[in-house]
Chain A
Amino acid sequence: MGVSYIPVARIGELNPGAMKEVDLGGRQVLVAFVEGKYYAFSRQCPHEEADLKEAGQLLNGTQIRCNNHSYCFDLKTGDCTLPKGGAPLTVLPAEERGEEVCIRLEW
């Protein structure tokens, strides 16, 4: 068991509301800078697998809408907020460590 911090961006690299794509262990992840914080989440919408790099739209607050079917997700928890009860978005914990944004993966 252990913990890994995987750097995915430099502090200041992303403008507010911007997203960056990252490969983590072969999985495609998006890192977004929203309301002064970084969020990391799967690039694939859990509803019908749309690519959130193309179909994802950051909304006010920490929400992302998949424009394929208008499903919305909370980037903090991954919960599907519209419609409620939909499959959750896979989110990963992003932390600022020094000059870097890292994903904290514990096992």
Chain B
Amino acid sequence: MSYDLLIRGGRVVDGSGLPSYVADVGVKDGKVTEIGKIKEGAVKTIDAGGLAVSPGFIDHHTHLDAQMLWDPYGTCEPQHGVTSVVMGNCGLSLAPVRQGIEDAIVKSFVRVEAIPRIALDQGVKWNWHSYGEYLDNFEGKVGINVGGLVGHIAVRHHAMGEEAVERKATGTEVQKMKGLVLDAMEGGALGMSTNRNDRHMREDGKPVSSRLADDDEFFALCDVLAERNAGVIETILGRNKVEHFEWYHELAKRTQRPILWQSLQHRWSEPNLWREQLAAVEPIFKAGYQAYGLSHTVPLVRHFTMKDCQIFDEFPTWKNLMFLPVEVRKQAFADADTRKKLQGELDNLRETNYHKRWDIPKIEKVFKPENQKYVGKTIAEMAAMRNQAPIDAFLDLALDENLETIFWNANNGGDWNAMGEILRSPYVLIGTSDAGAHVLFGADFGYGTILLGLWVRERQVMSLEQAIHKLTFHPASIFGLQGRGLLRPGYAADIAVFDPKTVNAEEPVWANDFPANSKRMVQQAIGMNYTIVNGTVINDHGRMTGELPGQVMRGPLYRQHKAAA
């Protein structure tokens, strides 16, 4: 047999979590057809010696609903090994829609997901009504595989118009919404999402429409999925409380569908919350139901100098000093009484977002050769080396370098041990890239490459096999993406070929590639040599090939509906 594509001599990490092994991977007609020692030739051969060969990553938490309409790659997903994306999270989708409610949907996207209005106004053509028609837009026109959840916000506006942001739904309106959800599922939606986050508003300051729904309404919509045994239910309730877990349990028990909830991450300001969340969700799984917490891999890192930083703004004296002229500030930093006052504010037990610890912030970059020995050390470690109190060591170093020393701090995701436990938990689904959203604030396309670079290679919190499983077959199983997420004969040839010794994500940078040349942040990858979708290379060392082999991933009700028709 001759292959379309042959990947020779790589280490196959097949997505199952089983130990990896060296093998060739043969691809024909978009599928993996053979794994082992392959003698036959191929139209195209990739030498993967020294590289890992895994299923392409599945980014299940994106807001690429609009971006995929003008950017067939969902840039920068493929650069990071992502071959499939799920849109429609957090209650937000661009379908179903009818004339007159388009702007209500845009208002919600603009505010909740911080997508520039000009990009949505120019990039979204609204040439669909149903969810299935929306998905039709991507057939044959995308480089990666796309699927989506139907969003409660659009469903509610479709049934109630602008009153969706004013009141509870009537019984008739709930029935109408159930019909819309069923139609979306039969059109190919992979599930449904809702949003009850009390911080999520529209552009006009009104709550997003799904926040007006009561349990009767939402559960009735979820019953559509339960009755047909299809789809996931994705939720965002805002800040997690214990009663939320009772709600997840009730929903999971009632529907027996996978529930997804946001979110679970270590925060220094609430260092035990993640443990309480995992303890609260365990009984749901023990009872036989699924309620996965979504967790991110990207620590919320801030790099700062004492010349210009905001991280101490919660502390009045620190704050005032940071607004003083630099020369006055330097004098104040050198003053022993001022230092005592500064340390006193950190010692105060008042709850703050900043962790108030010296064993977390690190010295990232110094400017004098004699200080080089401190790079990579925490301030507490540096203080021990200098036999000083941490505040003295911190401020003396900053003053010695004219306040230009660069420090590193992470309020979220910075506790390696906690993050290890979170990321390894069987109750956690990794990935809240939010790709396509918050585009002026950051870019986390690299949640997968950061998992492999930071957490697997540098921190060794899990094996490469476990990590690849978490990025591939785990989400594929939960979302019901048949034939994807494993490297096995018969599975789609969605493949990432990367160097486990170097794989990682670059820092986000600005680009002007949104409609109307509007700007956003993008993120490139390191060590991701090839991304292959349905057997076709779309990313060759960071360069897009121009091929569009992506498929629309439609859910099981679509197939049933089509077969019945």
Contact = CB atoms under 8 A, between A and B. Distances in A.
Interface of A: 1-2, 4, 6, 24-27, 29, 42, 44, 48-50, 65, 67-71, 82-83, 85-88, 90, 92, 103, 105-107
A44 B322 CA distance: 15
27 contacts: A1-B337, A1-B338, A2-B332, A25-B329, A26-B307, A26-B326, A27-B323, A42-B310, A42-B313, A44-B310, A48-B440, A65-B205, A68-B111, A70-B202, A70-B205, A83-B198, A83-B201, A85-B239, A88-B314, A90-B313, A90-B319, A105-B320, A105-B323, A105-B324, A106-B320, A107-B324, A107-B332
Given A107-B324, A107-B338, A48 B203 contact: no
Contact of A70 (B203, B310, B320, B326): B203
B205 A82 contact: yes
A94 to B, nearest CB: 12
A69 B206 CA distance: 11
Band of interface residues on B: 35 or more
A83 B314 CA distance: 19
Contacts of B241: none
Nearest to B198: A83
Of B201, B204, B326, chain A has the most CB atoms within 10 Å of the CB of: B201
A25 B203 contact: no
B44 interface: no
Given A24-B324, A65-B205, A82-B205, 15 more contacts: A6-B324, A25-B324, A44-B310, A48-B114, A69-B112, A70-B204, A71-B199, A85-B239, A90-B313, A92-B319, A92-B320, A92-B323, A105-B321, A105-B324, A107-B341
B335 interface: yes
A1 B338 CA distance: 6
A44 B329 CA distance: 21
B257 interface: no
Contacts of A90: 310, 313, 319
Given A25-B329, A26-B307, A42-B310, A70 B323 contact: no
Interface of A is mostly: loop
B510 to A, nearest CB: 14
B480 to A, nearest CB: 33
Contacts of B353: 87
B332 A25 contact: no
Contacts of B43: none
A91 B198 CA distance: 24
A100 B310 CA distance: 27
Contacts of A67: 203
B38 to A, nearest CB: 50
B270 interface: no
B314 to A, nearest CB: 8
Nearest to B116: A68
B12 to A, nearest CB: 41
B114 A70 contact: no
B317 interface: yes
Nearest to A72: B205
A103 B328 CA distance: 15
Contacts of B337: 1
A92 B323 CA distance: 9
Contacts of A68: 111, 114, 440
B332 to A, nearest CB: 5
Nearest to B238: A83
B320 A69 contact: no
A107 B321 contact: yes
Given A83-B199, A107-B341, A69 B323 contact: no
B323 A48 contact: no
A4 B353 CA distance: 27
Of B314, B320, B332, B438, chain A has the most CB atoms within 10 Å of the CB of: B320
Contacts of A26: 307-308, 326
Contacts of B320: 92, 105-107
A48 B115 CA distance: 12
A73 B441 CA distance: 20
Of A4, A70, A83, chain B has the most CB atoms within 10 Å of the CB of: A70
Contacts of A107: 317, 320-321, 324, 332, 338, 341
B325 interface: yes
B238 to A, nearest CB: 9
Contacts of A48: 114, 438, 440-441
Interface string B170-209: 0000000000000000000000000000110111110000
A27 B111 contact: no
A83 B239 CA distance: 12
A106 B326 CA distance: 15
Of A44, A83, A87, chain B has the most CB atoms within 10 Å of the CB of: A83
User: What are the 3 A-B residue pairs with the smallest beta carbon separation, nearest first?
Assistant: A83-B199, A105-B320, A24-B323
Contacts of B205: 65, 70, 82
